[in-house]
Structure 1
Amino acid sequence: MKKKRLLKISGWVILLLVGILGCLIFYTVKIEPYQIRLKEYVSIKNKQSKTEIKVVQFSDVHIKEDYTYQNLAKVVDKINEQKPDFVIFSGDLYDNYSIYNDDQNIIRELGRIKATYGKVAIWGNRDYGGGAGRNYPGIMQAADFMLLSNQTERFTLENGKTISFTGIDDMLLGSPDTSVGVNSMEAVYSIFLTHEPDYLKDYRVEGFDIILAGHSHGGQIKVPFFPSINETGLTFHAHSKEYSSGFYDFEKKGDKKLYVNSGVGTTHISARFGVVPEITLFRIVI
């Protein structure tokens, strides 16, 4: 009698565990990848100043059959809610251009992004592969983005203060100029943009106020209390081994100069757990 009761309890436990696992898989595949979260940070360079600019960064959209312009539209709406002065896209628009592309709808959505002074983009590795390299520049231009490749552009604000953006070409598939930061234009606030953060040691970035990157997706899957699993995830996706997501010290301890955006889309597997898609708002006081 006791044995039958134990078997019955065990059966219920197994069913419960299977149900929990099923819910987790459903959340990981069908819910979290389609959420969008705003992260907000303040950077103060001049404590006496009343000039604040809002810079929004988004990255790694990876448009594909299960993440289309309709999903991008929600990201665009979230960006516009912030009323940004500048918008930065740090690479990887499509997942695999040769398998799935929808340029006209993507151009329309990206074109809806509003920024007071300008929209800036750089190259990611996926922006070269699968024939994307022939089309990515035209897409971004049609959507009113300035595409930087080993270039620095300076913008002048209404009060005469300047902010500069230096964008490096993709390190994996592009032709990056590692000296591009050396002769960057002087500005009150300077931002360095790169897709892959692990290669920053190859660049001269000491003069920049902040470095913004993407590529890592935060690993896409972040299992609590099991860092080794998360590290394996980063390796599996061939993403950053040193920089996963968030702020990192770079030149010196405590400077928190490098920020790695966890991205919007997914690659390899259409799943996220513990790494909600993000856009980032930087309130910069200059």
Structure 2
Amino acid sequence: MNRRAFLKRAAGFTMTLIGLSGGTFFYSREIEPASLHIQKENITSDNIPTTFHKKKIIQFSDTHLGFNYSIENLEKLANQINKRNPDIILFTGDLVDNPKYLKAQEHKPIIEVLSSLNAPLGKYWIYGNHDHGGYGTETILDIMEAADFTLLQNSHVEISSEQDTFILAGIDDLMLGKPDLDAALQQANPELFTVLLAHEPDFADEAVKYPVDVQLSGHSHGGQVRLPIIGHLYTPLYAEKYVRGKYLIDNQLQLFVNAGIGTTRVPYRLFCKPEIHEYTLQANLS
């Protein structure tokens, strides 16, 4: 960490401690983490097939099930997602905050909630860094498979509607997995509209070298605690360049970074509400 970054973070944490000593503490601990922001975005591309025009994709990420985010919270989230009537549902990693949580937690309620999510064109997911490691990797895979989610781990699928198709690809986690975008896109038609799921957003600087139109990521939590003027205080490795919102990389790759649902490290959110993304595909009909 350089001197400037250190001073910024130190000043930010000092201001946070002062602010959290009053009513802001209650708000950031109890109110904002329980709120939900629906971030609506249009994804426009000449490569989007016409039969996918107006199709809706919901992305959610970083639930971090555990001490600060319960199955009851997850159930409320699922209800909100189903109300949006998505055609496709995408989960971009970090189901649990710590895989050890799953040793003490009954898996059936988690499976039931995730199974209740409805999407006629499918439900897909990728690993996040908190999902990997020993017991968690295989257990989370079993849970997601039981809930009818398809894992994209250095692989892709073709999403079809009537006579048209687009590519949905996913890579393994950068931090604790073995990501391989070449393998993910192997035998994929590079002329088709292609969406990539990558947990860490900074991977976009690599993805832009490939025939990928859109990258969807999480991991950053949007900074989780943000202050006026200063902005976010901290983001994890591989979420330091692209933190929240929409970016256009080299005038080519559209990157969307979801601020996530749960919390990690500290159970606070400030000026950074939990969010899901609602994408509407926009084909060129002219």
3-state SS of 2:182 partner: coil
Q: Quick one: which of 180, 201, 213 aligns to 2:205?
A: 201
The answer to whether the Cα contact below 8 Å between 1:213 and 1:260 also exists between their aligned partners in 2 is yes
Question: What is the rounded CA distance, in whole Å, between the counterparts of 2:240 and 2:90 in structure 1?
Answer: 23
**What code does the residue aligned with 2:182 have?**
S
Say if 1:83 and 1:94 are closer, same or farther in 2 by CA, change over 3 A.
Answer: same
Please name the residue that 2:282 is paired with: 285
Q: How many Å apart are 1:189 and its aligned residue?
A: 2.5
Please name the residue that 1:273 is paired with: 270
Question: What is the rounded CA distance, in whole Å, between the counterparts of 1:162 and 1:216 in structure 2?
Answer: 31
Question: What is the rounded CA distance, in whole Å, between the counterparts of 2:133 and 2:265 in structure 1?
Answer: 15
* Residues 229-269 of structure 1: per-residue CA shift (max 9 Å, x gap): x2x322xx5561101111112122xx560111100000000
Say if 1:249 and 1:37 are closer, same or farther in 2 by CA, change over 3 A.
Answer: same
- TM-score when normalising by structure 1: 0.84
Q: How many Å apart are 1:130 and its aligned residue?
A: 5.9
Question: What is the rounded CA distance, in whole Å, between the counterparts of 1:258 and 1:202 in structure 2?
Answer: 12
Say if 1:134 and 1:247 are closer, same or farther in 2 by CA, change over 3 A.
Answer: same
Question: What is the rounded CA distance, in whole Å, between the counterparts of 2:101 and 2:111 in structure 1?
Answer: 18
Question: What is the rounded CA distance, in whole Å, between the counterparts of 1:217 and 1:249 in structure 2?
Answer: 20
**Number of aligned positions between the proteins:** 261
3-state SS of 1:74 partner: helix
Q: How many Å apart are 1:19 and its aligned residue?
A: 9.8
* Residues 149-202 of structure 1: per-residue CA shift (max 9 Å, x gap): 000100211x31112210001111111114235535237421011001123334
Please name the residue that 1:106 is paired with: 110
Question: What is the rounded CA distance, in whole Å, between the counterparts of 1:205 and 1:261 in structure 2?
Answer: 22
The answer to whether the Cα contact below 8 Å between 1:179 and 1:203 also exists between their aligned partners in 2 is no
The answer to whether the Cα contact below 8 Å between 2:63 and 2:96 also exists between their aligned partners in 1 is yes
Question: What is the rounded CA distance, in whole Å, between the counterparts of 1:154 and 1:246 in structure 2?
Answer: 26
Q: How many Å apart are 1:91 and its aligned residue?
A: 0.3
Please name the residue that 1:213 is paired with: 217
Please name the residue that 1:42 is paired with: 42
**How big is the alpha-carbon RMSD for the aligned residues of Structure 1 and Structure 2?**
2.3
The answer to whether the Cα contact below 8 Å between 1:192 and 1:211 also exists between their aligned partners in 2 is yes
Q: How many Å apart are 1:136 and its aligned residue?
A: 1.1
Structure index of larger Rg? 1
* Residues 17-53 of structure 1: per-residue CA shift (max 9 Å, x gap): x998421000000111111111111122249947321
Please list, as runs of the form range in 1=range in 2, the aligned pairs for 1:1-286 lying within 5 A after superposition: 21-46=21-46, 49=50, 51-99=53-101, 101-129=105-133, 131-157=135-161, 159-180=162-183, 182-183=185-186, 185-186=188-189, 188-203=192-207, 205-227=209-231, 230=232, 232-234=233-235, 237-238=236-237, 240-252=239-251, 255=252, 257-286=254-283
**What code does the residue aligned with 2:217 have?**
A
Q: How many Å apart are 1:210 and its aligned residue?
A: 0.8
Question: What is the rounded CA distance, in whole Å, between the counterparts of 2:249 and 2:19 in structure 1?
Answer: 44
**What code does the residue aligned with 2:262 have?**
G
Q: How many Å apart are 1:214 and its aligned residue?
A: 0.6
The answer to whether the Cα contact below 8 Å between 1:181 and 1:204 also exists between their aligned partners in 2 is no
Say if 1:21 and 1:114 are closer, same or farther in 2 by CA, change over 3 A.
Answer: same
The answer to whether the Cα contact below 8 Å between 2:226 and 2:270 also exists between their aligned partners in 1 is yes
Instruction: Specify every segment of 5 or more residues in structure 1 that has no aligned partner in the other structure, as ranges.
Output: 1-17
Q: How many Å apart are 1:279 and its aligned residue?
A: 0.5
